[in-house]
Amino acid sequence: MRFYILIIVLFATIKTFSQENKPTYYYDENEVRISDSLFREKYKRNLEKYKYSQLYIETDSCYIGLLIRRKNYGKLTQFEFDSLQKSLKGSINEPNNKYTVIQYHPGKDQCNNGNAEVRLDKIRIFKKSYLNKINKKVGIDKFWVHKVDKRIDYNKVQSVNWQVDINRTVEDLFFKLPHPCHSFVIIDNYSKNYISYFGEYHSSIIIECFKELIEKQ
């Protein structure tokens, strides 16, 4: 992920006199530069599995096509975890619940068109059997976090209570690249391991990621 950010920053600093006929550079999920045909072939080959997402970014000198794994794994440092807790709750006290789920809105894009309402399945899922049992047994903290975007009045949303991503903490930790629609991350508050999922998703994927995170304990 840091490589992708570096590539974008590098190309963004290169100024050109002409905006016409800009080249396009493609990178695969392993951060290796590849051809246009291989880029599209790898994406189509895994389309049914929803394994990758395509991101296209325009800079002053070129276009960049990125093939991104939608599901990602990581572990927060204690400092990162404390920063996240302070951003979400206003304190760095040890959480009482074992898991944290953050569903993230990236601001207005072509996918959500500025709509910040949330489908009911993403809300009711925590009251269904599997996650309801986990919540009763060890506890789940749930947050709806949005990127600052003055074009959207999040206070008018009726389905959930959005809270702003203070100091872009959630974005910087999990969602640095502009993935469309919504994304989410599940964090084990004890081990600090997490699974993040980029782009639009069905609520069933939250359950799948929960099961995977629990199995790896």
Domain boundaries, the chain: 2-69, 71-215
CA–CA dist 89, 41 (Å, integer): 44
pLDDT at 56: 87
Give exposure, 47-76, as e/b (b: 16+ Cβ within 10 Å). Answer: eeeebbbebebebebeebbbbbbbbeeeeb
CA 96 from centre of chain: 24
pLDDT at position 139? 96
Tokens for 148? 């600052």
pLDDT number for residue 131: 95
User: Going residue by residue through the chain (217 aa), what tens digit of pLDDT does each one get?
Assistant: 554 444 444 444 333 334 457 899 999 988 899 999 999 998 888 776 678 888 888 888 899 999 989 999 999 999 999 999 999 999 888 889 999 999 999 999 888 999 999 989 999 999 888 999 999 999 999 999 999 999 999 999 999 999 999 999 999 999 998 788 899 999 999 999 999 999 989 999 999 999 999 998 7
The pLDDT assigned to 129 comes to: 84
Q: For position 10, what pLDDT does the model report?
A: 40
The CA distance from 120 to 159, in Å, is: 8
So what's the architecture of 71-215 in CATH?
A: 3-Layer(aba) Sandwich (3.40)
Assess contact for 92 and 86: CB atoms under 8 A.
yes
What per-residue confidence (pLDDT) applies to 51? Answer: 85
Predicted pLDDT at 14: 37
